[in-house]
Amino acid sequence: MGNRRNAVARTNRRAAVVFMVPGAIFFILIFIYPAIRTIQMAFSQVDADNITQGNWPFVGLRNFIAVFQLQAAGITVSNTVIFLAASIIPQVVIGLLLAIGLRQSTRLRRIGRALVLLPWLLPSVAVSSVFIFIFYTNGGLANWVLLALHVTKDPVLWFANPGTALFVIILVNIWIGIPFNFMIIQSGLQSLPTDVHEAAAVDGAGWWRELFSVTIPMLRESLFAVVMLGVIGTLKVFDFVWIMTSGGPANGTMLPGPLAYQQAFVAFNYGRGSAVIILTVLLMIVLAVIYVRVTTPRSPVPGGVFRPRRQKEVAR
């Protein structure tokens, strides 16, 4: 009997290895190998002349120092801070209001959810083209509305001014990020006990009082997850920014992703572009560690071992 169990166990282990090998090979080729080569290029002098050679001269931290000395470096940092703050806050607020408004199971909820999730269904090229048309200088929808309402006498040059160009990019990022915030917050709302809201209604709490005194405090973990994951996702933004402005004008919309692409594939300094990527990834790792530490509460047990804290009892 024991020999049969051992044979079955060996067979299961072999089967597990067989099924894991394709995934492991794919992970190594698609993630591990490119990551290693990117790290190698970040510490090497890699340009258009020696990119295909493979034996790149080691330069230490020279590429990282050069990144901080770029004229666009300071502008990129300030743009990123403004871009994050101006994108994440509206995304969370609008996602929260939409999740609360579409909480009831009605026909309006189905239509509303389909409209909210629409940005996820459209490719970045299509989204960029639509917003370019909306904010086009001559004949664009935004200028047509502003001129019709007599808000301005002349068409606004949206993509010719760094401030207005960054404003347009922020609007695009908000529109794209709302579905993610909506889904996460809606999942959190569905897990909330209904008796707390009923008790608040019995006590005479209005909609705003219930929102700020009951709903938001109970959604604290979900909202924190939305903010942290939103920040990490926003740091990776590249496609629609490059399509719409390429980081311009005058680096007014330059962000880490476009900066890395510009250094690697426009200036052909692959080492410096890799350094930008490494710095961005390190920042994401720090934010991910903070997110994991905060969202995984632990309580000490004898022996110095930590374990996840059990869910609090409703009545003590």
Instruction: Look at the chain and report how many structural domains it folds into.
Output: 1
pLDDT digits (tens, 9 = 90+) for 242-266: 999 999 899 999 999 999 999 999 9
Looking up residue 83, the CATH number of its domain turns out to be 1.10.3720.10
In a domain, 298, yes or no: no
Tell whether the model's pLDDT for residue 202 goes beyond 70.
no
Q: What is the average per-residue pLDDT within 219-224?
A: 84
Count Cβ atoms below 10 Å from residue 164 Cβ, excluding itself: 17
- pLDDT category at 288 given cuts 50, 70, 90 is confident
Whether residue 46 is contained in a domain is answered as no
Q: Cis check for the bond before 119: say yes or no (omega within 30 of 0).
A: no
**Cα–Cα distance, 153 to 198 (Å, whole number):** 52
Cross-strand bridge partners of residue 216 = none
Of the two residues 190 and 104, the one the predictor is more confident about is 190
Confidence of residue 282 (pLDDT cuts 50, 70, 90): very high
d(CA 49, CA 63): 17
Q: Indicate the pLDDT class of residue 298, thresholds 50, 70 and 90.
A: low
Task: Report if residue 311 sits inside a domain.
Answer: no
pLDDT of res. 129 = 92
Domain-located, residue 258: yes
User: Mean pLDDT, to the nearest integer, of 103-118?
Assistant: 75
> Between these two residues, 280 and 307, which has the higher pLDDT value?
280
Structure tokens belonging to residue 107: 């026909």
Q: Please check whether residue 290 lies inside any domain of the structure.
A: no
Q: Which residues constitute the domain of residue 258? A: 73-267
Residue 282 lies in a domain: no
- Asked if 150 and 140 touch (Cβ cutoff 8 Å), the reply is no
User: What average pLDDT does the chain have?
Assistant: 84
CA dist 160 and 245 (Å) reads 9
Reported as a pLDDT band with limits 50, 70 and 90, residue 116 is confident
Q: What is the pLDDT of residue 170?
A: 96
Tell me what percent of the residues of the chain surpass a pLDDT of 90. 42
Q: How far apart, in Å, do the first and last CA atoms of the chain sit?
A: 50
What pLDDT does 112 receive? Answer: 78
Residue 309 has pLDDT above 60, yes or no: no
pLDDT in tens, 146-157: 999 989 888 999
| Structural domain includes residue 169 | yes
Q: Is 157 helix (H, G, I), strand (E, B) or coil?
A: coil
pLDDT, tens only, 49-80: 888 887 899 999 999 999 999 989 999 999 99
The stretch 182-193 carries a mean pLDDT of: 83
Instruction: Give residue 24's pLDDT.
Output: 86
Q: How far apart are CA 122 and CA 115, in angstroms?
A: 12
Compute the C-alpha angle 107/111/115, nearest 5°.
Answer: 165
Residue 209 domain flag: yes
Tokens found for residue 247: 């980081």
Residue 106 confidence class, pLDDT cut points 50, 70, 90: low
pLDDT tens-digit map of 11-29: 878 888 888 888 888 888 8
